[in-house]
Chain A
Amino acid sequence: MSLLEISNLDLDIHGAPILRDVSLSVAPGQIVGVIGESGSGKSMTAFTVLQLLPEGAQARGQVTLNGHDMLSLSEAQLCRLRGNEVGMVFQEPMTALNPIRTIGEQVAETILIHEQVSKSEAMARAREALNRVELPADRFPLSRYPYELSGGQRQRVVIAMAIALRPKLLIADEPTTALDVTTQAQILALLTRLVREDGMGMLMITHDLAVMADMADDIVIMQKGRVVETGPAATLFETMQHPYSKALLAASTHAPDREDGTTEQPLLTVRNVVRAYALPRKTLFGAPGQVQAVKGVSFDLKRGESLGLVGESGCGKSTLTRAILGLEQVQGGEILFDGQPVFTGHAANRAVRRRMQVVFQDPYGSFNPRHKVARLVTEPFHLLDAPPTGAARDAAIAEALTSVGLAPEDQHKYIHEFSGGQRQRIAIARALIIKPDLIILDEAVSALDVQVRAQILDLLADLSKRFGLTYLFISHDLSVVRAITDRVLVMKSGEFVERGPTAQVFDAPQHAYTKALIAAAPRLPEEA
C-alpha cells in the first residue's frame, strides 16, 4: 500500500490546463524524483498534494495521502495534515523563513500548531529537530535569527520545520537549486539520511537529472503537464523510451562542438588586483575595518580564448567581474585591456568599454520591460562616438538578432513576449551589436532549463568561431564550465587556488578545494 497515490490528476488554473492525467505513487521510505523543465507542472503537482494551490485552481482525479482523500477534505482538515503528516521544503531558503522571528520560534511553531504542548516543551523539541539537521546548539542557539545564517543553514532550518513532527511524507521542491554545489551535496545527503532514519516517503521535485540519478529510487519525468516516463532510477537511464526523456538526458550532458581558438596575444591582463570594501565603523571615531573581497589576483586572458572562472557564492568572482568591467575602482594592482586601463579618472574607460560586453544571469531582470527590443539591443551604442542611425542602425539590429537565431522583425516586440531562452539570446545580441572583442558571461546560462541551456551553449560556441570572440565565463556550474572553456581558474576566498587547462583541472584536480568541488557535483551515470 503506497503512502501517496496520485492517479489521473487533472489541474486547471482559471480554465488553463496545467496538469493532465498525472499518476505517480510514493511508498514509505521511498524517494521519488519528479523531473521536468519550467512549466512542466512538477511544482504544481507538489502543491496539489498539499492543496496549497493558487486561486482559481481546480483539481480532478485522485490524490490519496496515507488514506486521506486530499481533494475532498475541508480546509480545516487539510490544516491538520499539513506540517503533521506531510512536510514541505522549498526552493528559496533565503526568503522561506520569517525574517523577524527566531529560528527556535519558527521550528517550535510546527509543533505548537498541531499538538497541545507547552511553549517550553515545543522549544525543547525544536532543539532536537535542529540537532537532527546538524545545526548544533552551541553554534545555532534557538535565539538565532534567519539573517544570521547562510543559505544552506537556512535550508536546514526549513527542513527542521518540515520534519519536526516526523511526517510520513516529505515534499521537497527544488531544495538545492539556489545553493552552491558543496552545500547542495550536504543538503541532499541530509535529506537522504532523514528519509532513511524515519522511513519517510519523499517526493523530490527538480530540474536536474544528475541530482536525482544520485539519490532517487524512482524517477518520474514530466513534460507540459503530463508524465512521459516513469521507472526505477537504477535502470531508467538505459531503458528510457520517450523521445523527450532522451532529449533531456542528451541536453544535460551536452557539450557544444568547439575548438580552442586561443592565440598568443593577451587581450585582458589582470595584475595583483585588490578590491577591498570598508566595513561599518565599530565605534564612532574608530577607523572603519576593511574586508578584502579580491586579494591580489593575476591572470592573462588571451585573444580567442574561453576562460572559466569558478567558485562558490562569496568567493569574490562577481566583485572581480565588476572591476574588470570598470564599474568600480580597485584598491591595488591594474587591469589592462589590450594595454589600456579599464578604469581611468573616476569612471570606466569608454575606449575600452566599447570593446567588452557582459551577459548576466537573469534574462528578464536585465531588460527594461517598457522598451522594445530594438531599443534594448542598441543600448551599447551610447559607448560609440558616432552611433549608427537610420538604415545603418536597422541593419545592425537585424544582423545582431539574426546572428543569435532570432528574426529581424522581433525588434518590434517587448521583452515579456519572449521565453527565457529567447531573452538570453536577446541579451547576447545586445552584447554583440557593437562587435566587442570580449564578452563576459556572468552565470549567463544558470537560470535556463537544460535543453535551452544546451542551445545557448551551442550558440556561444558558434559565435566565437564566427566572430573570433573571447569569453570570460563565470559560473558555479562545473559541468557548463567544462563544456565551454579552454582554461579554468578556481577561486576561493578572493584568491585563485588552482588554474590550468579545463580538462586537466577537472580530470586531475590538485588543490583540495577543487577536489571537493568536483566530488560534490552531482553526476549522471557514465555512458547512459
Chain B
Amino acid sequence: MLRYTLSRLLSLGVSLAVASVVIFLAIEVLPGDPAAYMLGLNAQPDTLAALRDELGLNGTLWERYADWVGGMLRGDFGTSYTYRSSVSEMIGERLWVSLPLALYALTLSTVIAFPAGIWAAARRGKAADVTVMGVTQLGVAIPNFWFAMLMVLVFAINLRWFSAGGFPGWDKGVWLSLKALTLPAVALALPQASILARVMRSALLDTLSEDFIRTARAKGLTKGQALRRHALRNALIPVLTIIGMQFSFLMAGGIIIENVFFLPGLGRMIFQAISARDLIVVESVVMLLVFAVVLVNFMVELAYALVDPRLRARA
C-alpha cells in the first residue's frame, strides 16, 4: 500500500510539473501585452517599459517561469494586473465560496444518487427502477441554469424562503452562508446526481450478474444481503471514478451557476480575468484548478486501493 501511495504521489508531481509548463507556454503565446492593455492606446513607450519591468514581463522565458513556479510554491501568486492586489488573497476569498459550493453539491449528489441507484438495481425492471430511470433521464436532460432560474422564481421570488443570489460571507454566519449556497448547490447537484445514480445502478447490475453473487445466494444470503455484502463494494470502482470527475467539474465548471446566483466564486473570477487580460490571475487560477483535479484523482486512486486488494498488492 505504501509503494502504491508513493507511486501515485510521484505521478501526481509529474502531472503538476507538466501542467505548469503547458499553462505557462499557452499564456505566453497568447496575443496581447497586458501592460499595453492596462495603459490604454495612448501610452508613452517609456511608461510602458517601466510597467513591463514592474510586472516582470521583461525577463527571459525561463526566468519568468522559475519566478512564477517559485512564487506559487511559497504561496505567492503574484499581483493582479488590473486590481493591483495580491492574487493569493483574491483566490483565497473566492476559494471559500467555490470549494464549499462544490463539496455541498457533491454531497447532495452522492446522498441522492446512492440510495436511488441501489434501489433501482435491487428492483430491476419494476416500478421503482422505471421511476428512477425516468427521473434521472430528465435530470440529465434539463439544463442546470434553467433549473436554477426556475428555483429562484419559486423559492426566492414566490415563496421567499431563500434570497435570489449573492453571498453574505462566512463571517456573517455559517447558517446564512450555507443557506445562500443551497439553491446553487441543488442546481449543480441535479444533473450530477442523475448521472451518478445511473452509473451506480448499472455498475450494481453488472456485479449482481457475477458468479460470486450466485455463490453467496447458495450460502443462504437473501437477495438484499448479497447486494449489500458482495455487490456494493465491487460496484464502487466506476462510481468513485465518476465522483472524482464530478468534483473537478464542480470546482471549475460552476461558472454559469455562479453567474445566475451572483456568487463571488472562482469561475466568475477567471471569466472576468480573461476579459481583462489579467493573465497572472488566469495562470494562477488555472494552475490551482489543475492542482485540485490532480489531487482529487490521487485521492480517488487511493480509494480504489482501499476497495480492491488486488491494486494494493500490485503497486
Contact = CB atoms under 8 A, between A and B. Distances in A.
Interface of A: 50, 52, 75-76, 79-84, 87-88, 90, 92, 95-101, 109-110, 113-114, 145, 147-148, 158, 161-162, 280
Contact of A100 (B215, B217, B309): B309
B46 to A, nearest CB: 54
Contact of B211 (A79, A90, A101, A148): A90
Interface string B211-228: 110111111111001000
A83 B220 contact: yes
Interface in B199-213: 210-212
Interface string B176-201: 00000000000000000000000000
B219 A82 contact: yes
Given A76-B222, A83-B220, 20 more contacts: A52-B218, A75-B222, A80-B220, A82-B218, A87-B218, A88-B218, A90-B214, A90-B215, A96-B215, A98-B216, A99-B212, A99-B308, A99-B310, A100-B309, A109-B216, A109-B229, A113-B219, A113-B220, A145-B310, A158-B215
Given A113-B225, A145-B309, A147-B310, A96 B219 contact: no
A92 B310 contact: no
Nearest to B10: A284
A364 B210 CA distance: 20
B234 interface: yes
Given A145-B310, A147-B309, A147-B310, A97 B215 contact: yes
Nearest to A82: B220
14 contacts: A84-B220, A88-B215, A90-B211, A90-B215, A90-B218, A96-B211, A96-B214, A100-B233, A100-B234, A109-B219, A113-B219, A145-B309, A147-B313, A158-B215
Given A92-B211, A95-B210, A97-B215, A79 B222 contact: yes
A114 B219 CA distance: 9
A326 B222 CA distance: 51
A280 B220 CA distance: 41
Given A145-B309, A145-B310, A52 B214 contact: yes
A83 B219 contact: yes
Contacts, number: 77
Interface of B: 210-212, 214-222, 225, 229-230, 233-234, 307-310, 313-314
Contacts of B215: 88, 90, 96-98, 158, 161
A145 B230 CA distance: 14
Nearest to A105: B229
B222 A52 contact: no
Contact of B219 (A92, A148, A161): A161
Contacts of B309: 99-100, 145, 147
A88 B216 CA distance: 10
Contact of B221 (A79, A97, A101, A148): A79
A82 B212 contact: no
Contacts of B229: 109
Contact of A97 (B212, B218, B308, B313): B212
Given A95-B211, A98-B230, A79 B220 contact: yes
Contacts of B210: 95
A100 B215 CA distance: 14
Contacts of B219: 82-83, 109-110, 113, 161
B257 to A, nearest CB: 37
Contacts of B216: 98, 109
Contacts of A83: 218-221
Contacts of A90: 211, 214-215, 218
Nearest to B6: A284
B28 to A, nearest CB: 33
A10 B225 CA distance: 30
Nearest to A55: B125
Contacts of A52: 214, 217-218
A113 B222 CA distance: 10
Nearest to A146: B212
A114 B214 contact: no
A219 to B, nearest CB: 24
Nearest to B207: A98
Nearest to A114: B220
A195 B212 CA distance: 24
A27 B293 CA distance: 64
A449 to B, nearest CB: 22
A50 B234 contact: no
Contacts of B234: 98-100
For A101, A114, A280, which residue has the most chain B Cβ atoms within 10 angstroms?
A: A101
Given A113-B225, A145-B309, A96 B220 contact: no
B220 A110 contact: yes
A81 B218 contact: no
B184 to A, nearest CB: 37
A172 to B, nearest CB: 11
A281 to B, nearest CB: 10
B302 to A, nearest CB: 15
B307 A100 contact: yes
A498 to B, nearest CB: 36
A494 B218 CA distance: 39
B262 to A, nearest CB: 46
A452 B212 CA distance: 30
A99 B211 CA distance: 11
For B210, B219, B225, which residue has the most chain A Cβ atoms within 10 angstroms?
A: B219
Contacts of A97: 212, 215
A126 B255 CA distance: 56
Nearest to B218: A88
Contacts of B212: 95-99
A312 B307 CA distance: 33
Across the A-B interface, give the 9 residue pairs with the lowest CB-CB distance, nearest first: A83-B220, A83-B219, A95-B211, A88-B218, A82-B220, A98-B212, A110-B219, A145-B309, A96-B215
B292 to A, nearest CB: 27
A13 to B, nearest CB: 16
Contacts of B313: 145, 147-148
Contacts of A109: 216, 219, 221, 229
A82 B225 CA distance: 14
Nearest to B124: A55
A289 B184 CA distance: 54
A129 B221 CA distance: 19
Contacts of A79: 220-222
Contacts of A113: 219-221, 225
B62 to A, nearest CB: 28
Nearest to B230: A98
A80 to B, nearest CB: 7
Nearest to B215: A96
Contact of A50 (B218, B230, B307): B218
A100 B222 CA distance: 20
A81 B211 contact: no
Contacts of A99: 212, 234, 308-310
B217 A82 contact: yes
Contacts of A76: 222
A110 B219 CA distance: 6
A271 B212 CA distance: 45
Contacts of A145: 309-310, 313
